[in-house]
Structure 1
Amino acid sequence: MKKIDQKIVGYDVVTPEKKAAQAQKDAQAKIEQMHESVERAEMLIGSTYKIKTPMSEHAMYVTINDMILNEGTEHEVRRPFEIFINSKNMEHYQWVVALTLLISAVFRKGGDITFIVDELSAVFDPQGGYFKRGGKFMPSLVAEIGDVVEKHLKMIGMIKDDGLDEHQQKLIAEKRAQYEAAAAPKVNDSASTNGEFPADAHLCKKCNTKAAIIMDGCLTCLNCGDSKCS
């Protein structure tokens, strides 16, 4: 029994529902989030991506290390902690080091860090961009690093990968079959230069991939399904 030696100014009845709500609130408060004060774990999980551009004979390797927060619980998540970029080509060494430090700082800041993908992808090289394998256009090397970051964030679930729905996949398959059937009598004019799309395909303004073909007087992309006729 507890003795009350102060004036009662109010009261509340604690119901089982209120107890459960308070317990859930306390549990939420204990969930570990990524922030600047989070200390680097002894071991991080890393993924390495290879970038090979026509701008250099040496490949570039991008490694992103992740931390596992709330490990072993229903709130377990994987969040990026740091990024490293390595290459035998020392031409870009200075700005590459600066970029890795800045991106790593953004990762450790926590919260919604997906904006960095748009920022990197919007960088254009004044000397012109290039097409990577598969026909996707990259306006700069920085933009391709942004493409790698986006790929990684999709892999760990921070960015939702919408992809193509069943209807879009069926439409693309039909358009491709029609195009290949129409081009068959020609002397390999439709042979693909990248192993995926026709050599005479146009650049799709939606997905930046050289995969748009003219079908029935309309430009249709064989990569993302975008069409001016639909």
Structure 2
Amino acid sequence: MAVKIEKKIKGYSVIGAEDRAREAQASSAPAPVENKLADVIQMHERVERPDVLIGSTYKIKTPLVEHAMYVTINDIVLNAGTEHEQRRPFEVFINSKSMEHFQWIVALTRIMSAVFRKGGDVTFLVDEMKAVFDPRGGYFKAGGVYMPSLVAEIGAVVEEHMKSIGLIHDPEMSDAARALIAEKRAAYERANAPAANESVAVTGDGTTFPPSATMCHKCSTKALVLMDGCATCLNCGYSKCG
């Protein structure tokens, strides 16, 4: 069969048996397999709200408000039933009989819910809220923990919730540090045995601190006592003398 060549011939080569074998081998080789990434759903503002969410409610009772406040945080479960399953906060509500702070509380909860739905690292909210100070002064909650403002205590509640779902992890205290704290506490109790009618501060886990203790600047707990001329915290082990 004759083939007419329209263009000018500049060179030529002869295809041999080896060339044909290489072409056949290349055509029969399997195509490279593409590694498909797992279809992991990340939190973003386009994730629609399910009909049912998992939630937790926390009670806040402060001397600043007559009635208790109830903080409800609802979580969405992403990638349910897979190895990538994760709970993320989706919305927050605060309810109380007291209407004194109603306006800014509604604004705060709406902004927080918007940040939760935006996705990404939302743990920064805890630090921002706990750093808010009331110009009228803060207060001590049960257990002697100092709260600089009502917003700071709401931030502490959000922190507690994020710890429970695994978004925030507490740094583990070493066994040596725990033993040192227990030793300091026992030594102080022996040296300053409280009278039978003297009250002591009790934390949520049942730990007691002397009523004369002052606030520790590291853990914000009234557990700082004077031992051997050195300020020592019986809660976190902080010592001004090192």
TM-score with structure 1 setting the length: 0.86
Per the TM alignment, residue 49 of structure 1 is displaced from its structure 2 partner at its CA by 0.5
d(CA) in 1 for partners of 2:213, 2:174: 23
Matching of residue 107 in structure 1 with residue 112 in structure 2: no
Structure 1, unpaired ranges of 5+: 1-12
Identify the residue that residue 202 of structure 1 maps to in structure 2.
214
Q: How does 1:25-36 map to 2 (within 5 A)?
A: 26-27=37-38, 30-36=39-45
| Candidates 219, 227, 239, aligned match of 1:215 | 227
SS in 1 for 2:35: helix
Identify the residue that residue 157 of structure 2 maps to in structure 1.
148
Matching of residue 193 in structure 1 with residue 201 in structure 2: yes
| Candidates 28, 35, 50, aligned match of 1:22 | 35
d(CA) in 2 for partners of 1:47, 1:114: 17
Per the TM alignment, residue 79 of structure 1 is displaced from its structure 2 partner at its CA by 0.3
Between the aligned residues of both structures, percent identity stands at 63
Per the TM alignment, residue 62 of structure 1 is displaced from its structure 2 partner at its CA by 0.3
d(CA) in 2 for partners of 1:215, 1:161: 28
d(CA) in 2 for partners of 1:130, 1:163: 28
Say whether the 8 Å CA contact 2:68–2:96 is kept in structure 1. yes
Per the TM alignment, residue 14 of structure 1 is displaced from its structure 2 partner at its CA by 7.5
Say whether the 8 Å CA contact 2:139–2:149 is kept in structure 1. yes
| Candidates 139, 145, 153, aligned match of 1:136 | 145
Per the TM alignment, residue 131 of structure 1 is displaced from its structure 2 partner at its CA by 0.2
Larger Rg: 2
SS in 2 for 1:206: coil
Structure 2, unpaired ranges of 5+: 1-28
Per the TM alignment, residue 154 of structure 1 is displaced from its structure 2 partner at its CA by 0.9
Say whether the 8 Å CA contact 1:180–1:190 is kept in structure 2. no
1:18-42 Cα deviation digits (max 9, x unpaired): 84x813xx21xx1001100000011
Per the TM alignment, residue 168 of structure 1 is displaced from its structure 2 partner at its CA by 1.6
Per the TM alignment, residue 216 of structure 1 is displaced from its structure 2 partner at its CA by 1.6
1:52-105 Cα deviation digits (max 9, x unpaired): 111223110000000000000000000000000000111000000000000000
| Candidates 160, 164, 177, aligned match of 2:169 | 160
1:14/1:169 Cα in 2 relative to 1: closer, same or farther (>3 Å)?
farther
SS in 1 for 2:201: coil
1:179-223 Cα deviation digits (max 9, x unpaired): 010012x63597413462110111100111111111121111111
Q: Segments of 4+ in structure 1 off by > 4 A?
A: none
- Provide the alpha-carbon RMSD of the alignment: 2.0
- Count of aligned positions: 211
SS in 2 for 1:72: coil
1:176/1:191 Cα in 2 relative to 1: closer, same or farther (>3 Å)?
farther
Identify the residue that residue 9 of structure 1 maps to in structure 2.
none
